[in-house]
Amino acid sequence: MTVSNRTTFSSAFPFALISTSAMTSASSSDVLILALGVGLAAVYLFRDQLFAASKPKTAPIVAAKGQNGSGNPRDFIAKMKEGKKRLVIFYGSQTGTAEEYAIRLAKEAKSKFGLASLVCDPEEYDFENLDELPEDCAAFFVMATYGEGEPTDNAVQLMQNLQDESFEFSGGERKLEGLKYVVFGLGNKTYEHYNSIGRAVDAELTKLGAIRIGERGEGDDDKSMEEDYLEWKDGMWDAFAAAMNVEEGQGGDSADFAVSELDIHPPEKVYLGELSARALTKTKGIHDAKNPYPAPISHSRELFEPTADRNCAHIELDTEGSGITYQHGDHVGVWPSNPDVEVDRLLCALNLYDKKDTVINIESLDPALAKVPFPVPTTYATVLRHYIDISAVAGRQILGTLSKFAPTPEAEAFLKNMNTNKEEYHKVIAEGCLRLGEVLQLAAGDDLNIYPTKENTTGWPIPFDIIVSSIPRLQPRYYSISSSPKIHPNSIHVTVVVLKYQNIPNHHVDAKWVYGVGSNFLLNLKYAVNNETPPLIASEGSSDPSHVSVPTYQIEGPRGAYKQDTVYKSPIHVRRSTFRLPTNPKSPVIMIGPGTGVAPFRGFVQERVALARRSIEKNGPDALADWGRISLFYGCRKSTEDFLYKEEWPQYVEELRGKFVMHVAFSRENYKPDGSKIYVQDLIWEDREHIADAILNGKGYVYICGEAKNMSKQVEDVLARILGEAKGGSAAVEGAAELKLLKERSRLMLDVWS
Ligand SMILES: Cc1cc2nc3c(=O)[nH]c(=O)nc-3n(C[C@H](O)[C@H](O)[C@H](O)COP(=O)(O)OP(=O)(O)OC[C@H]3O[C@@H](n4cnc5c(N)ncnc54)[C@H](O)[C@@H]3O)c2cc1C
Ligand SMILES: NC(=O)c1ccc[n+]([C@@H]2O[C@H](COP(=O)([O-])OP(=O)(O)OC[C@H]3O[C@@H](n4cnc5c(N)ncnc54)[C@H](OP(=O)(O)O)[C@@H]3O)[C@@H](O)[C@H]2O)c1
Ligand SMILES: Cc1cc2nc3c(=O)[nH]c(=O)nc-3n(C[C@H](O)[C@H](O)[C@H](O)COP(=O)(O)O)c2cc1C
């Protein structure tokens, strides 16, 4: 496969290897261009392709007038009055973080000022009577940003109402004079449109005459959302007290939940990790995020070569008979559980190990403020294994609360210091990557380097309701689907690079490996499916199994629901995306996806292959002649190590008869003359003539997928340079304007993550 300084696929395939010349002296081997000979002409209308690349249009939403008053479940003002609530807290949330912060704000308002809040999913309420909010009340907006600065699905309507010039509030005017509001935006600085929804909400409300309380808060997921929140909230609460004319100290700590142990309960009604009532009762129903489908894994394999020090799992999830459908470019949500070691650690640290299977019920003491975040009745062990995120790095705020339950004065002092000393918290806990169980062990002087047991772990008398209200729900992990339903109608493929990294050791914490929850859950499934023994990690010099092997999970699931004979299953649901190929195959397509960013593009290429097969069958061998070129820019470290789906691409090249061209940058194999690495953006620059022509003259579509922090930005910069130059101007002016236009027309789409 590798021919000295030039890499190609098997010569059995009739494609031409084109080497671009700009970087060539030292690096032509880094540029792999696969192309078939040019096909002949044929024209056909591809009516049956279902998905255009444009975003689905959302119908303008106008709240029904005259429906206010009690009895209308969509009337938040009536609900506030009924419940004597002075704050309404709207959250725009996709994966639960904004909701979590909305609830935290509600709890703080209650404990600081004794004020009750209505925490609202904006989708569930009409927005038009915001102008009826009484003067002694305030509205909070806790809003996450997604994609190209877009709102979360549940906030689309709210944003439309705020931004639509024709939208009127219930008084018949577009005014919110004197409305008091607070904004906390959630975002990630690696994205171009940082926190744009929080900012837009703020700007629109101000335009409407509303008055912001304190500063607008902005949390950056890339650094620390928690720290940004903590830094912002005290100033905001001071301003809030003044604006609302309330004083601190009027509230008091009150529990959100009541946890009770049940002596007798029908075992078949106890949730042992089932994610829905239907899963517990084994009744049929639609499979979605509220009722994930346990999909059998029909095939799985390692995609990296044994020489790589990383894992990348290809997993095929069988959806036959589930009613689940998908389209190329969609995401699949995988619902992991926590690894055994973390479950055991926290059970021991909470003194619950002996009671781990005790059946418990949990009731919300204020359902409007905090719903029980998972199904009950359940057991202690189930909550920790399946329902809450105990594997994340422990937050700073909870440590203050937990210090009250410390087993020794030293443990209490340690937690208090971590709670109040931001720098020390950052160094010891954040950089040391300590989960809550580990922090409790460290505070109590337990040994973190051995597998946690009752005997070696100090028990803390922390009420379980505090754990439930302080630790967020374990969330599904999303993966770009790497197959096309046209070729695999009953199977969803995922391409998962397994997360494993080292912490930064400090005076309290030794060096250790940290394992991503979801990707290692899938890796475990892959090992089990193939009857493989997980490899040992020798580097830590410890003989303890927990330290020398990858984390283990209870992959057989609740009541063995995820294992049938030798077949293993994973709970999944599909999330629709707008990341789609253009309907017309004549449009040129440029796909940029290094690393696992290639995942959706495998699906895109398969989609086109399926269409090509049908077209050729119908119209003969020249059927693809007027198709646009499909270019894939892919990058990996070495051709011999982590070249994903290396053996498949030549077949796609052949089937697409010269219309599919693949460029590959091997970043650790060959270098530029100055010794620097060659990345996808260098190959794009090298191919600039074709790219400019495809975009500007061919009305082509551009897709970027993969890492958000550096890659996607640098790729966009190069695209701006190419387009600016082609337009006879600069990257900053003409190039940036062209990119903006492409985005507006959904001809430049991003599916990136950090
Ligand atoms: C839309 C979308 C599509 C995606 N598609 C894919 C895909 O096709 N393939 C794929 O493999 N992944 C994909 N991902 C990423 C995937 O969802 C998971 O985030 C990833 O598998 C890690 O999850 P985990 O549960 O293993 O890790 P977690 O347990 O969730 O840990 C992740 C966290 O670890 C921390 N972290 C990570 N690296 C380091 C480090 N070096 N140092 C310190 N802290 C670190 C970060 O806080 C990070 O948020 C996608 C994500 C999104 C949002
Ligand atoms: N949410 C998550 O936790 C999650 C999940 C998956 C991936 N990721 C992150 O996403 C990134 C990609 O992960 P991956 O495993 O899919 O790919 P990868 O194997 O780390 O990288 C793929 C290729 O991209 C190159 N590359 C590195 N920086 C680049 C840049 N700025 N521009 C263009 N190419 C660049 C790499 O080169 P070199 O390595 O030689 O520099 C490599 O050749 C990683 O940073 C990873 O941590 C995060
Ligand atoms: C696919 C994806 C796209 C995102 N796009 C943006 C963005 O354009 N701008 C931004 O500031 N943050 C962006 N973020 C960061 C989220 O806003 C942030 O992670 C937030 O905490 C998510 O909140 P939620 O869990 O309530 O949905 C993005 C996150 C993901 C996963």
Residues 571 and 625 in one domain: no
Residues 682 and 723 in one domain: yes
Is position 433 annotated as part of the catalytic site?
Answer: no
Question: Span 149-154, mean pLDDT?
Answer: 94
Residues 738 and 597 in one domain: yes
Residues whose CB is less than 8 angstroms from the CB of residue 155 and which lie 6 or more positions away in sequence, other chains included = 90, 92, 93, 122, 123, 143, 197
Residues 745 and 611 in one domain: yes
**Ligand nearest the Cα atom of residue 706:** 2
In a domain, 263, yes or no: no
How many structural domains is the chain composed of? 4
* Predicted pLDDT at 367: 80
| Of 692, 371, 304, the residue nearest 526 (C-alpha) | 304
Residues 561 and 608 in one domain: no
Whole-prediction pTM value?
A: 0.86
| Of 68, 74, 69, 106, the residue nearest 368 (C-alpha) | 106
Residues 329 and 370 in one domain: no
Residues 145 and 169 in one domain: yes
Residues 145 and 194 in one domain: yes
Question: Span 715-736, mean pLDDT?
Answer: 97
Q: How confident is the model at residue 366 (pLDDT cuts 50, 70, 90)?
A: confident
In a domain, 70, yes or no: no
Higher-scoring residue by pLDDT: 193, 147 = 193
pLDDT tens for each residue of 519-536: 999 999 999 999 998 876
Q: How confident is the model at residue 28 (pLDDT cuts 50, 70, 90)?
A: very low
Kindly tell me if the per-residue pLDDT of 4 is higher than 50.
Answer: no
Of 221, 307, 310, 497, best ligand 2 pocket probe by most atoms within 8 Å of the beta carbon: 497
Is position 751 annotated as part of the catalytic site?
Answer: yes
> Are the CB atoms for 477 and 336 separated by under 8 Å?
yes
> How far apart are the CA of 190 and the centre of ligand 1, in A?
14
Distance CA(500)–CA(397), nearest Å, equals: 26
Is the bond preceding residue 377 a cis peptide, omega within 30 degrees? yes
Which residue in 276, 469, 480, 484 is the catalytic one?
Answer: 480
Is position 753 annotated as part of the catalytic site?
Answer: yes
CATH of residue 647: 3.40.50.80
pLDDT tens for each residue of 466-515: 999 899 999 999 999 999 999 999 999 999 999 999 999 999 999 999 99
Residues 513 and 565 in one domain: yes
For residue 649 the two structure tokens come to 């691409």
Kindly tell me if the per-residue pLDDT of 196 is higher than 70.
Answer: yes
* Phi/psi at 25 (5° precision): -45, -50
Residue closest via CA to ligand 1's atom 45 equals: 501
Higher-scoring residue by pLDDT: 83, 419 = 419
Residues 685 and 639 in one domain: yes
Kindly tell me if the per-residue pLDDT of 19 is higher than 70.
Answer: no
Residue closest via CA to ligand 2's atom 21 equals: 595
Percentage of the chain lying above the pLDDT 70 cut: 88
Range among 114-128, 196-210, 366-380 rated most confident: 196-210
Residues 232 and 319 in one domain: no
Q: Which of 516, 549, 575 is the last residue of a domain?
A: 575
pLDDT tens for each residue of 197-247: 999 999 999 999 999 999 999 999 988 899 999 999 999 999 999 999 999
CATH of residue 414: 1.20.990.10
Q: Which of 575, 598, 618 is the last residue of a domain?
A: 575
Residues 332 and 356 in one domain: no
What range defines the domain where residue 183 resides?
76-244
